[in-house]
Structure 1
Amino acid sequence: MVPVARYDVEADGGSRGNPGPAGYGAAVLDRASGETLVETAEYLGVATNNVAEYRGLVAGLRAAHTLDPAADIRVRMDSRLVVEQMSGRWAIRHPELRALADEAAGIFPRERVTYEWVPRERNRHADRLANEAMDAGARGERWDPSASTAALDTDIAASAPAPASEPAVGWGSAPDLGAPATFVLLRHGETALTPQKRFSGTGGGDPELSAAGRRQASAAATAFAARGTIQEIVCSPLRRCRETAAAVGDRLGIPVAVEDGLRETDFGAWEGLTFAEVRERYPDDLAAWLASPEAAPTGGGESFVTVAERVEAARRRLVERYAGRTVLVVTHVTPIKTLVRLALGAPPEAMFRMELSAAATSVVAYYADGNASVRLFNDTSYLEN
């Protein structure tokens, strides 16, 4: 009896902009020896991360099928979305992804393919192929397998001495830092307190979305489903954010993780009051709060300095966890303004110069060198009738 061939398919895809210039890479390896049998990569033009990752999966499976259509296949990817959807645990709602998933599922019989999620550092082979394809596309060239360095031992490069001096980085010489961690910041939908402009933070009640807020959450979910760029969802622990995030997660088939650091400010004794009511009851405390980010609301509330410290700590955790991913972050006014302010390097008083509507979207990208780029602020276009 001829032994069954056992292959590992390692696949990845990326988009520099999501959507933006995109490419995929895939490799087929002999499972027993680890030998690379096939490498493939392609520049896709403008596409999303998710589409590029699925295209990489399809290419890897087709390459393995060409080697041996009767092989046993283990797919290894760092895209939890693709792994969970292809394993049947997450729903696939985006039509383009559904078509690609169906194409991938038809290459081998389902019982011969298993899917395994691996962290990004264990998927460097395919990741490098994808980046080589995107680099070639940026030069107006096709990916050349003879020039690929993906299979080289990365320890050699890591041990090489650094150059004596680094060239200055400018517009034309910036290094390729890879795909950023992109935070799509969504303020929760309205509650009963929102149109009344009442302080509503962590220290008061935990209001649910109003009927208007639920409609806003549904509209946001429809918009994100149409764009097809969201890969992960994280939200504040407060009810209005969990409900907004759930509306999107249910539509996209993506589970929601909770991050406590994204909760709203504790406004102390001001909870539930309007600005005018606070000014009438606590004029000195309000004046101090408006004058200094270190001043806290009456009754043990949080200062903007305190909030910024925990939001920044949450940001670091999420950037590390979701490097290279596009994450929907459902949170509140203060955390979103804080993230935008920090990305811009603006002073704390800039918080009072930003207007953020209910269910509005803002976008900040975080790069490997520590820099950030604000790409969008307070977009509510999808809420318009």
Structure 2
Amino acid sequence: MAPRVVVIEADGGSRGNPGPAGYGAVVRDLDTGEVLAERAESIGRATNNVAEYRGLIAGLEAAAELGATEVEARMDSKLVVEQMCGRWQIKHPGLRPLAAQAAGLVDRFAAVRFSWIPRERNRHADALANAAMDAAAAGAPARPAAPPVAEPAREVAAPDSPARAAAREAAARASTARTTGTDPATAPASWEPRPSFTATRLILVRHGETEYTEQRRYSGRGDVPLSARGRDQIRATAARVAALAPAAAAVVSSPLSRCTATAEAIAEALGGLPVRREDDLIECDFGAWEGRTFAEVRERWAGEMDAWLASTRVAPPDGESFTEVAERAGRAITALLDAYRGETVVVVSHVSPIKLVLRDALAAGDAFLHRLFLDAAGISVVDMWPDGGVAVRSVNDTAHLTDA
């Protein structure tokens, strides 16, 4: 019988960084600690981080081959663990394809959780990686045989101390509300497994293009329909969302037609899910600026625009502040997290609400709102746990729009 839950221990390294590099990965049965699979390979000249990612990928592939449904991935690479959890940016372009490959493998399992372990608890994978590095340095065949590793019997996971158990209980009770319902800035930061094993995944989709989008006009409460290009975009977006979340539980949309049309295309691609309309996901009310370009607003309301750009508490004339938008978007997200705990929800909305959700998910400041660009029909993915843990998996994915 295939193991339901396995542990992956992975490592990688290079002699020189970059230099002769290799990785190792071990897959164990969670309950018994029995070794179910080993993977090791010399990969030529590479950096430590590249080798570490390759080790994780090899471990995930082995777990999938074994038919595992849930994975605990343990590594002594803080960088890989933090990046895969979405807490650190992937700044090096050479690591992004590897992280994307790992993320694609993660999606094949019902659940995957990452944790950091000290090197002494990762000796088996470390020995495999070192044997692979030796082979790389010697120019030996790519898949070296790993030396046997004598390891003392040990528990797969030690029981919580009273202090740690109390800390977990306090973390689960924490609920400092912002857009996500809990504040990521104050949520418990830990490499330990989350009290709730399965996150609620939000697939955040901006509506397709309209004439106002193309003309760079403020488009708030006005019900501007999709343009011809926008209609092409939503077909591509629907196919992409269906691939990302084939088992989505719900599609929720702003009530404006540019969003509902986008949501209906996605719902159809997901097998005919109903579209639930949520008023709190509507775009910011830009008041007197509605339908005007940035240049037109700057010419007529220069002082008001400066004040608006300087503070999220300032509203356009006769309009709505970003603070107000964040409050209602927060209500919508909190309700979705309560209603669809542990499931995937597609949320179709506008630039302002999506930016505010991402701002809070990333624990970013207000300047983030003016620095992040969200394309029409772009997709962002956020995982949220009941204890306040958040992993932002992607932001403004537009690869599906290449031909749209």
Bin of the TM-score, shorter chain as denominator length: 0.5 to 0.7
Could you tell me which of 305, 308, 312 is aligned with 2:330? 312
Q: Find the counterpart in structure 2 of residue 218 from structure 1.
A: 235
Q: Distance in 2 between matches of 1:200 and 1:171?
A: 41
Q: Distance in 2 between matches of 1:296 and 1:171?
A: 38
Could you tell me which of 329, 332, 341 is aligned with 2:347? 329
Equivalent pairs: percent with the same residue?
45
Q: Find the counterpart in structure 2 of residue 277 from structure 1.
A: 296
Quick check: 1:357 aligned with 2:355?
A: no
1:215-271 deviations in Å (ceiling 9; x for gaps): 100001112233425332111111100000001111212111111111000000000
The alpha-carbon deviation at position 349 of structure 1 amounts to 2.2
The alpha-carbon deviation at position 384 of structure 1 amounts to 0.6
The question of whether the paired residues in 2 share the 8 Å contact of 1:293 and 1:349 is answered with no
Could you tell me which of 249, 258, 263 is aligned with 2:277? 258
**TM-score under structure 2 length normalisation:** 0.54
The alpha-carbon deviation at position 175 of structure 1 amounts to 3.6
Could you tell me which of 173, 177, 182 is aligned with 2:201? 182
* Aligned ranges 1:201-212 → 2 under 5 Å: 201-202=220-221, 205-212=222-229
Quick check: 1:371 aligned with 2:376?
A: no
Q: Distance in 1 between matches of 2:191 and 2:368?
A: 31
1:362 partner letter: S
2:209 partner letter: E
Q: Distance in 1 between matches of 2:400 and 2:234?
A: 11
* Aligned ranges 1:1-385 → 2 under 5 Å: 164-166=162-164, 172-202=191-221, 205-227=222-244, 228-253=246-271, 254-298=273-317, 300-385=318-403
Assess, with a 3 A threshold, how the Cα gap between structure 1 residues 170 and 181 changes in structure 2: closer, same or farther: closer
Q: Distance in 2 between matches of 1:46 and 1:275?
A: 51
Q: Distance in 1 between matches of 2:297 and 2:205?
A: 27
Q: Find the counterpart in structure 2 of residue 72 from structure 1.
A: none
2:219 partner letter: S
Q: 3-state SS of the aligned residue for 1:206?
A: coil
Task: State how many pairs are aligned.
Answer: 242
CA RMSD of aligned residues (A): 3.6
Q: Distance in 2 between matches of 1:369 and 1:309?
A: 20
The question of whether the paired residues in 1 share the 8 Å contact of 2:195 and 2:387 is answered with no
2:256 partner letter: L
The alpha-carbon deviation at position 170 of structure 1 amounts to 7.2
Q: 3-state SS of the aligned residue for 2:213?
A: coil
**What residue ranges of structure 2 are gaps of 5+ in the alignment?**
6-61, 70-109, 115-159, 168-187
Q: Distance in 2 between matches of 1:344 and 1:134?
A: 19
1:360 partner letter: G
Q: Find the counterpart in structure 1 of residue 81 from structure 2.
A: none
Assess, with a 3 A threshold, how the Cα gap between structure 1 residues 234 and 280 changes in structure 2: closer, same or farther: same
Q: Find the counterpart in structure 1 of residue 129 from structure 2.
A: none
The question of whether the paired residues in 1 share the 8 Å contact of 2:206 and 2:349 is answered with yes
Q: Find the counterpart in structure 1 of residue 92 from structure 2.
A: none
Q: 3-state SS of the aligned residue for 1:290?
A: helix
